[in-house]
């Protein structure tokens, strides 16, 4: 699954990287840089849509273009009674997205890309010594380019508000079976969409993307760095570059074993009594 990721680039930078128009105009609602993006938070996405006239009519004579838009992570179907359902719909399985009632209309016509610096997964460990029971890992592109998660989106209107009120736009990240070394961390992973498939995935005039729902090719995963990171990322209140810095897992385990055997302080407390 994908339940936490990092996205630190502003919409203008994403627009340049994805060759898109920046349509994130509401600066107050715009997603800010985050090293710990959590469900139900605003996120930056990329869609491909036809231009529209002032009355909303689609100008089908003009080609669809990529556009950067802000959404909320956690898909809320148009028929939902309230938006709380989005908390349970942050991910959609690629294997069943075309048949599930909550997702099938979106995957047919409303697909998006969710740009990310990288994402986190937790490997279940022994919990012995000072090693956490679940060790977080950060997956990111070795060359520093953004990853593109395959996503779907929907609009939801609050029945308590006037019909003229702006709808809530939400999205879900597709997941698939983990590939290559990623399977050693977690059995699921975000469905990564390589650049040469962006237009096909985003095409608003095509409803058949079955071939794109397969796990990514091995070479896509081989370009990733898998990095053990601090367990601090598990707390959504923590948010800083230290969350994606590599830690020495083996070294930490070795020090813990020495501490248990020799009963010596594991850290220099500096007289404060706290590590």
Task: Cite the active site residues.
Answer: 2, 121
Sign of CA dihedral 191, 192, 196, 201: positive
Sign of CA dihedral 113, 182, 99, 43: negative
C-alpha distances in angstroms, 166 versus 156, 161, 163, 169, 192? Answer: 9, 9, 8, 9, 30
- Assess contact for 169 and 61: CB atoms under 8 A: no
Q: Which helix (H) or strand (E) holds 15?
A: helix 11-17
- Assess contact for 226 and 139: CB atoms under 8 A: yes
Q: What three-state secondary structure class fits 94?
A: coil
Cα(64)–Cα(59) distance, rounded to whole angstroms?
A: 9
C-alpha distances in angstroms, 15 versus 10, 22, 203, 205? Answer: 9, 6, 17, 22
Residue 121 burial class via C-beta count within 10 angstroms: exposed 0-12, middle 13-18, buried 19 and up: buried
Q: What three-state secondary structure class fits 146?
A: coil
C-alpha distances in angstroms, 239 versus 6, 37, 234? Answer: 9, 9, 10
- Assess contact for 84 and 75: CB atoms under 8 A: no
């Amino acid at each position: 699954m994908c339940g936490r990721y990092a996205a630190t680039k502003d919409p203008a930078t994403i627009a340049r990287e994805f060759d898109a128009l920046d349509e994130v105009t509401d600066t107050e609602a715009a997603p800010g840089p985050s090293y710990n993006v959590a469900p139900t938070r605003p996120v930056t996405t990329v869609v491909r849509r036809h231009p529209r006239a002032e009355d909303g009519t689609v100008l089908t004579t003009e080609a669809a273009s990529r556009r950067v838009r802000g959404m909320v992570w956690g898909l809320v179907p148009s028929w939902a009674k309230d938006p709380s359902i989005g908390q349970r719909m942050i991910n959609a399985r690629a294997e069943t997205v075309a048949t599930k009632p909550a997702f099938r209309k979106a995957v047919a016509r409303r697909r998006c890309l969710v740009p990310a610096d990288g994402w986190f997964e937790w490997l279940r460990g022994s919990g012995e010594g000072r090693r956490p029971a679940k060790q977080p890992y950060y997956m990111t592109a070795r060359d520093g380019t953004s990853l593109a998660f395959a996503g779907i989106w929907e609009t939801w209107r609050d029945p308590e508000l006037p019909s003229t009120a702006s709808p809530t736009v939400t999205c879900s990240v597709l997941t698939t079976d983990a590939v290559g070394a990623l399977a050693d961390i977690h059995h699921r992973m975000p469905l990564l969409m390589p650049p040469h498939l962006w237009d096909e995935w985003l095409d608003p005039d095509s409803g058949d993307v079955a071939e794109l729902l397969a796990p990514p090719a091995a070479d896509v995963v081989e370009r990733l760095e898998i990095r053990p990171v601090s367990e601090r990322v598990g707390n959504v209140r923590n948010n800083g570059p230290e969350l994606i810095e590599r830690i020495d897992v083996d070294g930490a385990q070795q020090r813990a074993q020495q501490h248990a055997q020799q009963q010596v302080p594991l850290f220099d407390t500096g007289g404060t009594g706290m590590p």
